[in-house]
Structure 1
Amino acid sequence: MFFTPQKTNEMKKMGQCAAVAALFACASMSAFAQTADIDCTKPHQAVDRMICNNAALRALDARANAYYTILLEAKPAADTKAYHDFRDSLQTDEQKWQHDTRHACGAQAACLTDAYQHRIEALRGSALAYLGLTVTAAPAQSQPSEPSIDYKNAIYRVDGKDITLLEGQHTQPAADDSSAQDVTHIIEPPPHVAGKLGGRNAVAVFLSEQSGGSGTFYYVALAFNDGRGTTFKIGDRIQPISIAINGDDLVVGYLDRNADEPMAVPPTVPRERHFAYMNGQILERPPAASAAK
């Protein structure tokens, strides 16, 4: 089989784009990679210690570094002066972001999470613009379907703070220089359920949070397509039984204790509570409204 120069050039461009697409896949799969520019065996600064001790932040750092490497090393489909100018300024831009944005967060996990997410989106946008991926449409039959809600890798608002789950769990030191751990993770069973609440597609699931003490607090949580979620505290050391979305009604069932029973007594009292999602929050329905549903 013979190829014309034009066909050969087209194939080279397709090959370059395929290689870059593969690198994009690697970027999304590199969540557990070690951070590239932080020595976690000797984390000197507070920001380094926070990232090294937080699996979710390590994953965000690895993904940002993957996109940065793509832009630094991949060959674009169109090798233009604009791309060379951009790549020449890339290292300076990266150093400026690390100093002005990441390091400014210090040991604040929520600040670092937000900083990394914005950085990843900026790097991804640059890769799409300069590596020519936006003009390489796949055949219609291979276009991906609308992604399902990744409730195990989302940011949940828990007691006024953002908690980033990675594969269903978040762990961080309970305090500086403490061996105790704060652990937040998804509880299944009962299995998660999908539906629509407040006009939004959502996944409902139980979360638990243990802060190194004797208590283990349980929450009903909703995750949405934008990768964010919200929660409502159910109780301490309960036993989740069921979770369901019926129309616009979120129904939670669990075992609890009577008011006069100590926490050492296993929960045996069945409870059922009904919730709605309104104005970005999970709100409990009054008993009369629940009965009318």
Structure 2
Amino acid sequence: MNKKMGVSVAVIALLAAGGLYLLVKPAGDAPAPAMPAPAPVASAGPATAPVDQAATAGQVAFDAKNSTFTLDGQSVTLKNGTSSIPSAPGSASSTTTRYFGDDGRGDLNNDGQEDIAFIVTQDAGGSGLFYYVVAAMKEADGYKTTNGFFIGDRIAPQSITIPRNSNELQVNFANRQPGEPMTAPPTVGRVLLLKVTPQGVLEGLMK
């Protein structure tokens, strides 16, 4: 290097943040600028999943369209609101049960929990279309369904109510006058009063 030029070159090799930096500084000049700080390294740990508050609290939702209950002593399991089974072993006809709706909510056994009542229909392949009401009783670990209580054939359901502090299930529907043919439209209002026994049986209120 030529000393007469009065120039000295300092070469400093630095390894920082995974890269090689070459710094050239003429002697006697101002100090070189500071090296850039290494970029922060992102954490490789797993992301935190959102907390399901309902699951954390132990709450279990009831889905009437995917529930199991009994109709006339036979177990029925709905999947997406429908069940279809052979009417008899080897029979070509089938018995189809469907979720109808008109859900009612309230306390049916005075335990402070909100129970649910809903209507299903059953078609055995004949001319009849039979309507039943089922109750789902809220318990500590979920819901327990009752038997289905027969409302009528080819009726017109209106609503289900569970009046506050009554422990009573009221099914409002339209039916035909006594003696009218089944082909007549249901036009007469009726109210069916039901209760759930301590054994979990849905039955008439006056029984």
* 1:242 partnered with 2:159: yes
Match of residue 143 from structure 2: 226
- Indicate the residue corresponding to 2:104 in structure 1: 193
- Render the CA deviation track for 1:40-63: whole Å, top value 9, x for unaligned: xxxxxxxxxxxxxxxxxxxxxxxx
Write the distance in 2 (CA, Å) between the matches of 1:161 and 1:202.
23
1:185 shift after superposition? 0.9
Check conservation: 2:133, 2:149, Cα contact below 8 A.
Answer: yes
Calculate percent identity across the aligned residue pairs: 32
Aligned 1:257-276 pairs, distance under 5 A: 257-276=176-195
Instruction: Tell whether the 8 Å contact from 1:154 to 1:229 is kept in structure 2 after alignment.
Output: no
**Corresponding residue to 2:205 among 271, 285, 289:** 285
- Larger strand proportion of the pair: 2
Q: Deviations over 1:31-88 (max 9, x none)?
A: xxxxxxxxxxxxxxxxxxxxxxxxxxxxxxxxxxxxxxxxxxxxxxxxxxxxxxxxxx
Q: How high is the TM-score relative to the length of structure 2? A: 0.66
Of 190, 193, 211, the residue aligned with 2:124 is: 211
* Residue identity matched to 2:78: L
Structure 1 segments of 4 or more deviating over 4 A?
none
CA contact (8 A) 2:146 2:201 kept: no
Equivalent position amino acid for 1:174 in 2: S
5+ residue gaps, structure 2: 1-40
Give the TM-score normalised by structure 1. Answer: 0.48
Equivalents in 2 of 1:192, 1:2: separation in Å? 51
**Match for 1:184 among 97, 108, 111?**
97
Q: Residue 2 and residue 257 in structure 1: after superposition, are their counterparts in 2 closer, same or farther (change >3 A)?
A: closer
Q: 1:160 offset after TM fit, Å?
A: 0.8
Query: Any conservation in 2 of the 1:171–1:181 contact (CA below 8 Å)?
Result: yes
Structure 1 residues 230 and 201: alpha-carbon distance in aligned structure 2, compared to 1, 3 A threshold: farther
What does 1:130-169 correspond to in 2, within 5 Å?
Answer: 141-143=51-53, 144=55, 145=57, 146-169=59-82
- For the residues of structure 1 that align with 2:62 and 2:94, how far apart are their CA atoms? 28
- Closer, same or farther: CA 223–159 of 1 in aligned 2, 3 Å: same
> Alpha carbon RMSD of aligned pairs, Å?
2.5
Gaps of 5+ in 1: 19-137, 288-293
> What secondary structure is seen at the aligned counterpart in 2 of 1:246?
coil
Which is helix-richer, 1 or 2? 1
Determine if contact 2:64/2:99 at 8 Å carries over to the other structure. no
* Count of aligned positions: 155
Q: 1:173: Cα distance to partner?
A: 1.7
| Bigger radius of gyration | 2
- Aligned partners of 1:150 and 1:227 also within 8 Å: no
